[in-house]
A and B are shown apart, each in its own frame.
Chain A
Amino acid sequence: MILTVALAVPLLGALALAGSKRWSAMRARWFATGAAALSLLALIVAWFGFDPSGPLFQHVDEVRWVPSLGVAYRVGVDGIALAVATMSALLFVAAIAYPLDARSEPRQDHVQYYAWLLFLQAMSLGVFLALDLLLFYVFFDLTLVGMYFLIGRWGHGEPQVSALKFFLYTFAGSLALLLAIIGLYLSLDPHSFDMRVLIERQPLAGSGLYAGLVFLALMLGLAIKTPLVPLHTWLPQAHVDAPGPASAILAGVLLKMGTYGMIRLPFAMMQDAFARYALAIAIIALVAIVYGALVALGQRNLKRRIAYTSINHMGYTVLGIAVAAAAFSDTDVARRLALTGATVEMVAHGLITGALFLICGSFWQRTGEYDLDRYGGLARQAPLLTGFTVLAAFASLGMPGLAGFVAEFQIFAGTFAVYPWLAVIGVVGILITAALFLDLLRRLFFGSRPLHLVDFPDLNRAEWGVLAVLTLGIVVIGIAPRFLLTLIEASSAVLVGGR
């Protein structure tokens, strides 16, 4: 039940907001924050009720929907899903509570902005909680609808073009996914969309071309969402034109659907096929790591630079997943380590990049400018902003003691045991990331301050309050990750060791 509560509360909140005409933006924001927080609370309760030594999927709810097609409302979590979903809910609370960076919009339609954010929260959590392939697809698609309206209506720059490009590009991925899902569905007899059955029965094991095509379509759909180079081109534009909180959600939650989907669908359901192509996928991930970092280094636009670091970080996650899928029987421990690392990377990247994009929103609200060359010397004038940005940037570049390090260490440790050469090349990516974040901090906060920034205000209470919560999460995971690792390892042990 608890998972259904986590899904239903934001959805009902969205309906209430959409139906209310006279609410002030402030009241809508508090209401939405409350609904999002309740959903987060439900997931935390689920976390406490999760038994790491129990079965793979827990808190399962099942309700008949379309039994003649084998479709049902099935939700449930393993440790991986629960960790990612809880992080997402936290990020949604943060994004909703954070002030919207709309510089010229009239205030009255902000009620709908919060309604769309809550709707998006319900759909995003649905993706992570679904145990039914078709339900997964339904939620996967509806997140696109939510994000489309958020970017198109409250974005800046060329929001409608970006929103359209975002929707079309990622919908292409969805359709590839749909064809693959039908392929998986038809391979079961009797046909069913139940993920548990698919994971248990591995229906496509060793069936040659058909399995290869289904796997290809699955990976294509998920790689667009992740995004993996060379399918990443929708990402920078969508990010730059989206409002800050929506960007945070896009990077922190929507991208995770790609990598989470890789773990949940091809990794768990088609272990044979994934093992066959693991090296190829690991190499593509490596390209994403290095390419994402290099292109990010070349960006002069603040938001674009952070957007490209997402490509780099999602590359680590995919590398971890690919390593975990490789079929070397004597490396179980390393592969488990890599899968745990990949999941921690999802959580860490969500919190860190979420915080960074919220900070971008604050910059845009104050100046309407993303060009790094137009900034400088803000350290003295905006110490809070500087502090939070420095911390998030250091976490992103993998500083020990912060969340990013925990994740990347495990991924590379696992990779080193399975594909040592890839690990060696991959570390170069971390080096470039360090360079690009240090350069970013230098340009924003140090050096001489341009004249137009004389009255640049520091973060206000709402802003730093939200950032403090996210930062706290980053530090806690960095220093005492045990609570998170216990949860994830319970599932990665089953998934990796279960072959």
Chain B
Amino acid sequence: MPVGDLLPELILLVGAVIIVLFAAFSSHDRQAWAAGLALVALALATGFSVMQWSRAPMLSFSGVWALDGPAIAAKWLMLFSGAVTVSLSPQWMRSDRRHGEYYALILFALLGMIMMASANDSMQLVVGVLLSSTASYPLVAYHRGWAPALEAGMKYFLIGALTNALLVIGVVVLFGLVGDTDYARTAEALVDADPFALTIATACIVLGLSFKLAAFPAHAWMPDVAQGAPAPVVALLSVAPKIGAAVALARFVLLLPVDQAWPAIVALIAAVTMTLGNLAALRQSDVRRLLGWSSVSQSGYALMAVVVIGAHPQALRALLAFLAAYALANLAAFAVITHLRGRTALDDYRGLARAQPIVTAVLIVALLSLVGIPPLVGFFGKFLLFEVTIAAGYGWLAVVAAINTLVSLFYYLRVIAVTMFKAPEGEVHVLGIWSWLAMLASVVVLLVASLGVEWGLGLMASLRFAL
């Protein structure tokens, strides 16, 4: 068995196990050391996945595991968001004296998400989704003494249980149709499959993945989780599962025969998701909830690339560029919120610019990148999306997205206006040096990505799925 192909994942697994053991046998004041272990594991995993880049694209473990450009690029993004989350956490978790296994859960969740992005087999996909879901539920409800966290965890779990079950049903129906779980053989067998059963299987699998994407119709957990979960966890859960699920969905829809109307359905989901997320964000007076809804709407944009994934050769590049841009901006935004000790009511952000000019600048850069104001990297992400959708004949979807961008500008500006134009009230407490560094790291990466767009696009130019 080519175990070397799984080195990054194995490191995450071993790291998580070591952390669990460490947390069980070490004293309360050393629990935060687990963060260091987690960072080491993430760094090693990143290093090994960088080494995989030159060998891609290929399939490993009898075609179950894809080692291709999209999977590895997604892996980097997820590992980076994991690293930001971990470095935001020690000071956030200080009040919880036994929290070592928290880091293990983060690694398990990441492992599941990475499996989603790399899965070239429907059972593998199920395992990835389930692993990331089960590890995420306790993360969301980690502040077990706080009612909103429990409510968020409960909602997350209920919606997750339902959609995961649907996903499994979909995969089972698919298996019944083709008699195999491997994607390559699935694609061959689907050409003359029963269209009705295939529609059911597709619908169930798309629904199951829409939960991980926080896309309509399984998006309802996102705002609650954004508000109730520990702020570093939100940074992770608003970013990493989306990346994994988007790549998994793109991989899956490419298997479907052309006569299935999946592009139209995904386009519809995209349009509804972005519109719904934006409209709901408009009236929010809670910044974390607002960003939660914004994250829903951003999933809608990402799905635009999935719609044309089979119709335009550069759609995959657009998808990954957009996901990267979104991930960097959203991580920076939630790093700011964590650094401000989870400050959440919009009114509490009054006059932040005077008290914390740098933090405010980071927040503004992150929000403007989310809108897609050039020359920030968010603009290039959206630009590529618009380009591929228009070129592939989905002009109406680009127009819907443009209108939605306009709507989204309104609520991002509301936050910016409060920080810049209002008089400050009271003192602003911040978390500490770790969250400060994580915040700076995320915004520096965001700015570097904005300046180095050419390099990033060059890296992604030749991306394709190994199939």
Contact = CB atoms under 8 A, between A and B. Distances in A.
Nearest to A175: B402
B417 interface: yes
Contact of A179 (B368, B374, B386, B457): B386
A175 B406 contact: yes
B453 A152 contact: no
A134 B383 CA distance: 10
Contact of A68 (B395, B398, B461): B461
Contacts of A64: 454
B458 interface: yes
- Chief secondary structure at chain B's binding surface: helix
Contacts, number: 75
A153 interface: yes
Contact of B421 (A134, A159, A213): A159
A492 interface: no
Contact of B454 (A68, A159, A186): A68
Interface stretch (A93-101, A136-144, A290-298): A136-144
Contacts of B375: 138
Interface of A: 64-69, 134, 137-138, 141-142, 145, 148-149, 152-153, 159-160, 163-164, 167-168, 171-172, 175-176, 178-179, 182-183, 185-186, 213
Given A68-B458, A141-B374, A182-B383, A172 B406 contact: yes
A182 B410 contact: no
A66 B455 CA distance: 8
Contacts of B413: 148, 164, 167-168
Given A152-B420, A172-B406, A65 B454 contact: yes
Interface string B138-182: 000000000000000000000000000000000000000000000
Given A160-B417, A164-B417, A168-B409, A178 B457 contact: no
A153 B405 contact: no
B390 A182 contact: yes
Given A179-B398, A186-B390, A142 B374 contact: yes
A152 B383 contact: no
B390 A142 contact: no
Contacts of A134: 374, 383
Interface in B371-385: 373-375, 379-380, 383
Given A142-B374, A167-B413, A179-B386, A153 B421 contact: yes
5 contacts: A153-B420, A160-B421, A164-B413, A176-B402, A179-B386
Nearest to A172: B406
Nearest to B402: A175
Given A68-B457, A137-B374, A179-B386, 12 more contacts: A64-B454, A65-B454, A68-B458, A142-B374, A163-B417, A164-B417, A168-B410, A175-B406, A178-B386, A179-B398, A183-B390, A213-B395
A66 B453 contact: yes
Contacts of A66: 380, 453-454, 457
B387 A186 contact: yes
Nearest to B405: A175
B453 A164 contact: no
Q: Which of B380, B383, B410 has the most chain A CB atoms closer than 10 A to its own CB? A: B383
B402 A178 contact: yes
B399 interface: yes
A179 B421 contact: no
A185 B399 CA distance: 16
B391 interface: yes
| Leading 10 A-B pairs by shortest Cβ distance | A138-B374, A175-B402, A66-B454, A68-B457, A152-B421, A172-B406, A66-B453, A138-B375, A160-B421, A160-B417
Nearest to A66: B454
A68 B421 CA distance: 40
Contact of A182 (B387, B409, B420, B421): B387
Contacts of B387: 182, 185-186
A67 B402 contact: no
A167 B390 contact: no
A384 to B, nearest CB: 34
A145 B403 CA distance: 18
Contacts of A152: 417, 420-421
A67 B454 contact: yes
Interface in B276-330: none
Contact of A141 (B373, B386, B414, B461): B373
Contact of B373 (A65, A68, A142, A183): A142
A286 to B, nearest CB: 29
Contacts of B379: 138
Interface in B428-467: 453-454, 457-458, 461
Contacts of B374: 134, 137-138, 141-142
A178 B403 CA distance: 12
A452 B349 CA distance: 41
A164 B402 contact: no
A138 B403 CA distance: 18
B365 to A, nearest CB: 11
Nearest to B390: A182
A182 B386 contact: yes
A240 B421 CA distance: 18
Contacts of B391: 186
A295 B270 CA distance: 43
A21 B63 CA distance: 60
B406 A168 contact: yes
B169 to A, nearest CB: 40
A107 to B, nearest CB: 14
Nearest to B452: A66
Contacts of A145: 368, 373
A66 B380 CA distance: 10
Contacts of B453: 65-66
A455 to B, nearest CB: 31
Contacts of A153: 420-421
